[in-house]
Structure 1
Amino acid sequence: MTAYPNIDGPVARRGDPVTSWQAAQGLTDGHVRGSQQAVLSTLRQSGPLTDPEIAHRIAADGGTWSTQRLRTARSELVKAGLVKPIGVRKGTTGSKFTVWAPVPVQLKIGVSA
């Protein structure tokens, strides 16, 4: 089973009501946070993937989250600016799926004067 790295901080949008921010602050359930970690790690290790591909790879690594939970986790990562859509491709049934990729990590280096 793959160990997924931690993601810091709760996820809520700037315009969300205070109750959403309170809920985000209260996210201590490892199941929710773990699904976000699994999605982000999978995208960073495997490159751009569709939602079904993400779910398949995580399940192959021993993840037990539902496909809906993983789509929600991916959506939360998009809102947090950690994942972005980069295109569309057809799945095995001919349906079109959005392709998701991790946003490159940018380090901010302070310059002291």
Structure 2
Amino acid sequence: MRTYPNLDGPVARRSDPATSWAAAQSLTDGHVRGSQQAVLSTLRQSGPLTDPEIMAAIHAAGGTWSDSRLRTARKELCERGLVHPEDTKRGLTGSQFTRWAATPTQATIKEAA
């Protein structure tokens, strides 16, 4: 059985000062979780996309996260089993890009069981 991290749990040590807890909570409630949701929603709505396509779609929809934050969010979703590499696609310059897809919800439920 694979376990997934608790996104809603504490993100600072018990011994950390209150300011560390406040900073950690602001990240959990703000940009980190929001950027992951933006990436996951984009992949669910648009099908498999490359990182540049994910970023373009999110920015076109009004997202203000940096490209680096969006790539990190996609990586975090991969680590949680919510996104997986689908295939590759050749870009305009001939470079290969991985196309990422949202893992079907049923597959995630089966794996956790």
> TM-score, structure 1 length as denominator?
0.72
Q: What are the ranges of 5 or more consecutive residues in structure 1 without an aligned counterpart?
A: 1-8, 12-20, 109-113
Identity %: 66
Q: Which residue of 2 aligns with 1:61?
A: 61
Cα distance between partner residues in 1 of 2:90 and 2:35: 25
Please give the per-residue CA displacement for 1:10-43, whole angstroms capped at 9, x wherever unaligned.
Answer: 19xxxxxxxxx845x8552411110000000000
Cα distance between partner residues in 2 of 1:61 and 1:80: 25
Residue 91 of structure 1 and its aligned partner are, at CA, apart by 1.4
Structure 1 or 2: more helix by fraction: 2
2:28 aligned counterpart, secondary structure: coil
Aligned residues: CA RMSD:
2.3
2:32 aligned counterpart, secondary structure: helix
Q: Which residue of 2 aligns with 1:36?
A: 36
Q: Which residue of 1 aligns with 2:94?
A: 94
Q: What are the ranges of 5 or more consecutive residues in structure 2 without an aligned counterpart?
A: 1-5, 13-23
Residue 86 of structure 1 and its aligned partner are, at CA, apart by 1.1
Q: Which residue of 1 aligns with 2:104?
A: 104
Q: Which residue of 1 aligns with 2:7?
A: 10
Cα distance between partner residues in 1 of 2:89 and 2:77: 21
Task: List structure 1 segments (4+ residues) > 2 angstroms apart after TM superposition.
Answer: 25-29
Say how many residue pairs are matched. Answer: 91
Q: Which residue of 2 aligns with 1:18?
A: none
